[in-house]
Amino acid sequence: MNQIVVVGTSHHIAPLDFRERLSFSESELTEAFQLLREHPDVQEATILSTCNRVEVYAVTHGKNGCATLSDFLSTYHQIEPQQLGKFTYSHQNLDVIRHIFEVTASLDSMIVGEPQILGQVKEAYTQSLAAGATGDILNRLLTKAISVGKRVRTETNIAAGAVSISYAAVELAKRIFQSLEDKTVAIIGAGEMSELTAKHLVKNNVSQVIVANRTYQRAVDIAKKFSGIPLTYDADLSFLVEADIVISSTDAPHYLIHRHSLAEIMKKRKYRYMFLIDIAVPRDIDPEASKVDNAFLYNIDDLEAVVVSNLKDRHQEAEIAEQIVTEEVAKFQSQLQVFEVNPTIKALHQQFQQVASKELGICLDKAQLTPKQQKMVEAMTQSIIKKLLHQPTKHLRGVALNPDLTGAVNDSNDEHVKCVRALQELFDLENTRDRNLRG
């Protein structure tokens, strides 16, 4: 019998160096898919490999699907089974469905609501399709998982609000300025955080970037990334007159911008709004500078408060997303149950058709019927088949639409499995046996 399984690791349980060892490069995926397809117990497979997670999904034959995938990962990456078991998890059947739905809904991500994972799952599915590694079951599962991820983003605000310092700075800038399209950004210093913040501002269509640094070459290097203007830092701060957004991140031991100096700059600007982001520790901008008219000053703690507030909102939205996932798991399980019984239903109908055709052929050869009479007999035969199979078909699909959602499905408590097997044995439907997902 078949089962859906997943074996993987993620940021939840494994350090970065282990995730790196278990990851698959794009060039390795082709070989990995080939090895999985050649395994006698693996019928379908897909691999999701990102910086935060590595997961192998498969439809396998028999009850040892998780062990099969663990052996594959251990052998392929040359990792001792004991170490692999320490930093990996595994799921079967219903638990796999819930897990992949939570992944695409970004409920299992390091940052709840992050948008990248949905695209990464799409890419993983595309790659496994191209390799011919998926089949009916994983095609349905992954397509549905992507749909669930989209639904969560449409019906909740799980992705709303900045959850990083750099994004928070952009969010605050948008609150101050209706549009960033005609705004100039000035970067004081060349810290990584200020560069990242400037990058996000550029993505939001600011018109110009000025980079001022004590080391001119460093200013040149940063400015190139934004097609910006490099300057040697000057204590008179005259370059700030044209700046609407100021990002300061230096290692200076004292304030670079004081209240009186900013007041002079704002006067020259005719008091047009200025948004100042002080990311430096210790701070570069005197807190008193916030008292200058139309100057809006935020430090690292202010930005972190925005992030914390947004994360709280996201976690509240995550509760709604979990309800959506639970609902979609139930729907998909029902659809999958019906999908599983269809081969048996089809085989049963085919067997009845074959028997009827054979016997009808013998009858028509012996009887002298007119074409009209022959059509009547054939129609009657089809009507008898339809009526004989109507109730068994209806019953089988009916029990399939009422799955046990308490956990992984098993043979002892699943009525539709018993019905399928009874039909297979009663009518000797060998070609459909072991095609249903069970473990």
Q: Is 209 in a helix, a strand, or coil?
A: strand
Burial of 390 (0-12, 13-18, 19+ CB in 10 A): exposed
Helices 165-176 & 300-366 angle (0-180, nearest 10): 100
**E strand map for 223-269:** 229-232, 245-248
Please give the Cα distance from 162 to 168 (Å, whole number): 5
Please give the Cα distance from 90 to 155 (Å, whole number): 30
Evaluate the omega torsion of the peptide bond into residue 282 and state whether it is cis, within 30 degrees of 0.
yes
- State pLDDT tens for residues 170-196: 888 988 998 899 999 999 997 787 888
**E strand map for 38-173:** 42-49, 53-61, 89-92
Q: Is 439 in a helix, a strand, or coil?
A: coil
pLDDT band at 400 (very low <50, low <70, confident <90, very high): low
pLDDT at 2 over 90: no
- State pLDDT tens for residues 30-55: 999 999 999 999 999 999 999 889 99
What pLDDT sits at residue 238?
Answer: 93
Integer CA distances (angstroms), 191 to 197, 212, 251, in order: 10, 11, 9
What pLDDT sits at residue 22?
Answer: 96
What pLDDT sits at residue 415?
Answer: 64
For the chain, the residue count is 439
Q: Which CATH number fits domain 2-155: 3.10.350.10, 3.30.460.30, 1.10.10.60, 3.40.50.1370?
A: 3.30.460.30
- Of residues 420 and 220, which shows the higher confidence score? 220
What pLDDT sits at residue 402?
Answer: 62
Instruction: Report the CATH fold assignment for 165-293.
Output: Rossmann fold (3.40.50)
H/E segment holding residue 353 = helix 300-366
% the chain with pLDDT above 90? 56
Q: How far is CA 190 from the centre of its chain?
A: 34
| β-strand pairing of 184-188 with 208-213 | parallel
Please give the Cα distance from 33 to 46 (Å, whole number): 8
Mean pLDDT of 135-144: 94
What pLDDT sits at residue 405?
Answer: 37
H/E segment holding residue 6 = strand 2-10
Instruction: Give domain limits for the chain.
Output: 2-155, 165-293, 331-432
Q: So which residues are the catalytic ones? A: 51
pLDDT band at 434 (very low <50, low <70, confident <90, very high): very low
- Of residues 21 and 116, which shows the higher confidence score? 21
Integer CA distances (angstroms), 5 to 2, 45, 68, 284, in order: 10, 9, 10, 54
Please give the Cα distance from 245 to 197 (Å, whole number): 11
The one-character DSSP state at 239 is G
